[in-house]
Structure 1
Amino acid sequence: MNELLDPRNDFVFKRIFGSEENKDVLLAFLNRTFAESNEPPLSEIVLLNPYTDKDAPLDKQSIFDIWAKTSEGKLINIEMQLFNKYDIEKRTLFYWSKRYSSQLQEGNTYKELKKCVTINILNYSFLANDRYHNVFHLREDHTGLALTDDIEVHFMELSKLSDQMLPHEGGLINWLLFLKGADKSNWEVLKMNEPTLGKAMDTLEFLSQDGEARRLYEERQKFLHDEASMIEWATEKGMKQGIEKGERQKAIEIAKNMLALGIDLSLIVKASGLSEKEVKAL
């Protein structure tokens, strides 16, 4: 039997959670996620960019985030990050704002804007606390008064989970332990706690035995490793060259190094923090 594919690979993650036939898996995961932020359960979810065979691992047009919408119109974006692309907080707000503002068509009023939720699942540590699941809203500093409920950002850090954290009841941690790659010998316990996880496990096992799926997975895995290495190299070189020149100059150095390597414009924008217009001007 072939070794299991890594569900943290965004290509595999979308196959498991972002396909029409596994919409019940996504719904169960989201309900456990929202239960931890004291929100009512969802009864229905619509996939806005479901997985299809056109989602090629090396195609720059393929989007491996999962975009969904609730029956009330709330928008949800789920992103799996295997490697640290840096400035995740700024990237999150940037893409959240694009999703939020894209709702408003000509002639519409601001009242028609619906809540947007971003869920980042990270394979590395980011926040300076021990919580594996952190939820952010927009609130007043002193009183905790909410300005609006329209923005909600989740960070799930798989690196903060231990295989010894095996739970005795249902909840989000079961899903995250599955994604982290907890010992398969624990699957029965996780599935007993969260029955819908069984379908996610079956999907992963099927993909792991499918030759074409494995080939596509390995292509994507190599791409992700190469991308992470290039970003890390360019970032380190840019920081060394720009250490005396201030933050903006460091960002410019990073962008120039990545341009020289022929890295995709969108990745340069993410890694450097510069705008697309500023990168093009270089």
Structure 2
Amino acid sequence: MHDLLDPKNDFVFKRIFGSEENKDILLAFLNRTFIEAGEPPLTEIILMNPYTDKDSPRDKQSIFDIQARTTEGKLINVEMQLFNKYDNEKRTLYYWSKQYAGQLEEGQSYKQLKKCVTINILNFSLLSNDRYHNIFHLREDHSGITLIDDIEIHIMELSKLSSQDIPNEGGLLNWLLFLKSEDTTNWEVLKVNEPALGKAMTALEYLSQDAEARRLYEMRQKALHDEASMLEGARAEGESLGNFKGKLEVAKNMLTKGMDVPTVAELTGLSTEQLEQLKRTH
């Protein structure tokens, strides 16, 4: 029996939750998420970027988040983050805004904009409370009235869970404990609580015995570790270089290694305009 792959690896996560044959797994997970948020469950979802063999760790352009749409047009983005990329709040809002604004083509009415939901599953602690699932909306400070319901952000922190948190009923917690996967001896209990988890567990066991899937997984694990190390090094270097020329040099190296402009901007303090200019001249 092979050791199980880590479902927190975004490549594995998308294979399990983001493929057409496993769309029912994603739907069950989303419904537990929305029910816990006090919202009605979904009856159907459409995968906008389903997993294909092109989603390979060898390709830097591969996208390992999951993008789905409800029958009413609501857009949902689910992302697994194994390591802290820093400035997560701004990064989350930036990508939410791109998804929201990206719905409109030139000349279309704002009325056509649909609600966008971002779900970030983190393998680290971000928020200064004890809740493993936090939900954010746009509300007025004093009365709590909603300005508009188009923005909804879920932050799920696996680091705030322990193997002692086994529930005795169905719910989102069962899914998050599966993803945390520190203790597989509780899987039978989780599966009884959430029958749909059985298919997710079977999918993970199948992938773990597939030689090619394991090879790609290990490739992605290395890439994720390398990225985390590069981010740590770049942040430390950026903090030690107070002059503009030094920051430009660090930024150039980061862009050359394939880091995206928003992340480089956050780490160096340079503007996106300066970085775009840097890309054009090098």
Percent identity, aligned pairs only, is 68
1:71 and 2:67 are equivalent in the alignment = no
1:280 and 2:276 are equivalent in the alignment = yes
Letter in 2 for 1:229: S
How many angstroms does 1:258 deviate by?
4.8
The 1-side partners of 2:143 and 2:47 are apart by 37
CA contact (8 A) 1:269 1:279 kept: no
> Given the two structures, how large is their TM-score scaled by the length of structure 1?
0.93
How many angstroms does 1:256 deviate by?
3.4
Tell me the residue number matched to 2:162: 162
Tell me the residue number matched to 1:33: 33
- Structure-2 change in CA distance of 1:143 and 1:254 (3 Å): farther
In the TM superposition, 1:119-138 aligns within 5 A as 119-138=119-138
1:222 aligns to what SS in structure 2?
Answer: helix
* Most deviating of 126-135 and 233-242: 233-242
2:241 aligns to what SS in structure 1?
Answer: helix
Tell me the residue number matched to 1:264: 258
Tell me the residue number matched to 1:227: 227
- Structure-2 change in CA distance of 1:271 and 1:163 (3 Å): farther
2:201 aligns to what SS in structure 1?
Answer: helix
How many angstroms does 1:241 deviate by?
2.6
In the TM superposition, 1:137-176 aligns within 5 A as 137-176=137-176
For residues 142-177 of structure 1, the C-alpha deviation after alignment (integer angstroms, 9 at most, x for no partner) is 110100000000000000001100110000000000
2:235 aligns to what SS in structure 1?
Answer: helix
* Most deviating of 255-264 and 173-182: 255-264
The 1-side partners of 2:185 and 2:136 are apart by 34
Tell me the residue number matched to 1:195: 195
How many angstroms does 1:269 deviate by?
2.6
In the TM superposition, 1:39-118 aligns within 5 A as 39-118=39-118
CA contact (8 A) 1:81 1:123 kept: yes
> Given the two structures, how large is their TM-score scaled by the length of structure 2?
0.93
The 2-side partners of 1:43 and 1:255 are apart by 50
The 2-side partners of 1:190 and 1:208 are apart by 20
Letter in 1 for 2:265: S
How many angstroms does 1:281 deviate by?
2.9
For residues 33-71 of structure 1, the C-alpha deviation after alignment (integer angstroms, 9 at most, x for no partner) is 011111100000000000000111131221101000000
Tell me the residue number matched to 2:215: 215
How many residue pairs were aligned?
274
Q: Which runs of 5+ in 2 are unaligned?
A: none
Letter in 1 for 2:4: L
How many angstroms does 1:254 deviate by?
5.7
1:105 aligns to what SS in structure 2?
Answer: coil
CA contact (8 A) 2:78 2:120 kept: yes
- Structure-2 change in CA distance of 1:254 and 1:121 (3 Å): farther
* Most deviating of 200-209 and 176-185: 176-185
